Structure 1
């Protein structure tokens, strides 16, 4: 039992490192090659964990080989259009100008029920409201409405709006997030000054955000009773 426990911990660390090396895609955003690699890695890890007669090194070699292979494939996909098309495919236009392209549906093996569900999910009542529906390489559908059914924006109304940019979480749960602090160009002294303004130490702040215009929002932690 102790051996299996130890093997599980070791493979957990190795798998976490390999998956971290492969990137941060979510399951729904994986390409086919990435999904196959993740599936094979999980299967190869299960065997040495449960069968103590299989040397750990055999599992390590197989898993590391797959991880390195996927990393090389990802690099090739970035650099070569031909490799990218072969491994990830191309977007498929399912609806154009409100008209269903039946051949594209057949090629992609997508039903009209699925297309209608995506259109409803995007907030449109019927196909006539939609300019394009595109099946992306990751299997998700992009729904692009016709101009008459698109959301009204300040730009459409001729209203000038100042761009506040991104909101940076500078402090989270009493700890400074150095990555976002650097992005927001907020030095440590300014962070401490903002904390003092709220009559709190940095460790007592639940979160502090700052947008690109310098507008800050600071919320203190609730006092424990």
Structure 2
């Protein structure tokens, strides 16, 4: 029985989509993110084999599958050898090349990797660096990415540099998606549906109108609605708490000034200082 040519092509295409999918799954995510030389060669060859067989120029599907498996095994073999021997890894996968050191361009390394000054400047601009003299160290990785370390005086200032207190954050939990409550993330955040309903009431929105709802590490709920025209008020718990503590601290200082009792004055001043010290510690949490 003669199979129509169009049906033969469809069957062959489906078979090779499945085969290529399985081989890609075996290769893993690393090969999807960045290709080594051997993976690039294998990919081109596999694509050529597949197109030949799908269009019927090569009738043997089994032989084509064997060839695909053989070429797909090359990256596995290369990776296995690389893991066992550093010299082999450096030869097969390559090593990073220093392009800039102490604000000075390594011209010989640029020529070795066949990069021009313009191309180097383009890579730097992608890292938001526009002045070579600001760079402490820049290295071209084997993947082709340029990693840049700025000189200390040109790096962004951090809270640690300013010796300010700070707290670590946990990843936000998505507790509402497409108007449906996700109980597991809600439980991970140590919360429940009753709390969630109360927070939604404070914001004045209904559950079914929420496209996405997330709870941050401080237990604050933020929502995105289906209707982008509706304005959702920002959470007020932190500003209200900060204002209340500030008022208490100011009242204690005022009481200390107003009283004639030495013991009361000392007590008010002492507690006012405690609140002031507490505000310094809480400030990073109450202002983020």
* TM-score when normalising by structure 2: 0.63
Stretch deviating more after TM superposition (43-52 or 17-26): 17-26
- Which of 139, 148, 154 aligns to 1:143? It is 148
Provide the rounded CA distance (Å) in 2 between the counterparts of 1:191 and 1:59: 56
Task: Structure 2: state its 5+ residue gaps.
Answer: 1-5, 201-205, 228-288
* CA 1:98–1:61: 2 relative to 1, 3 Å: same
* CA 1:119–1:53: 2 relative to 1, 3 Å: closer
Judging by fraction of residues, say which structure has more helix: 2
Task: Structure 1: state its 5+ residue gaps.
Answer: none
Contact 1:44 1:63 in 2 (8 A): yes
* CA 1:37–1:167: 2 relative to 1, 3 Å: farther
Contact 2:52 2:58 in 1 (8 A): no
Equivalent residue, structure 2, for 1:131: 136
Deviation at 1:78, TM superposition (A): 3.4
Deviations 1:197-225, CA, capped at 9 Å, x for gaps: 65648xx8644445566655454656xxx
Deviation at 1:50, TM superposition (A): 0.8
- Which of 103, 106, 113 aligns to 1:101? It is 106
Deviations 1:173-193, CA, capped at 9 Å, x for gaps: 578999xx68x9739x96766
What is the SS of the residue equivalent to 1:25? helix
Provide the rounded CA distance (Å) in 1 between the counterparts of 2:31 and 2:73: 19
Contact 2:31 2:39 in 1 (8 A): no
How many residue pairs get matched? 217
What is the SS of the residue equivalent to 1:64? helix
* TM-score when normalising by structure 1: 0.78
Larger radius of gyration: 2
Compute the RMSD of aligned alpha carbons: 3.3
Higher relative contact order (CA closer than 8 Å, sequence separation 6+): 1
- Which of 63, 70, 75 aligns to 1:65? It is 70
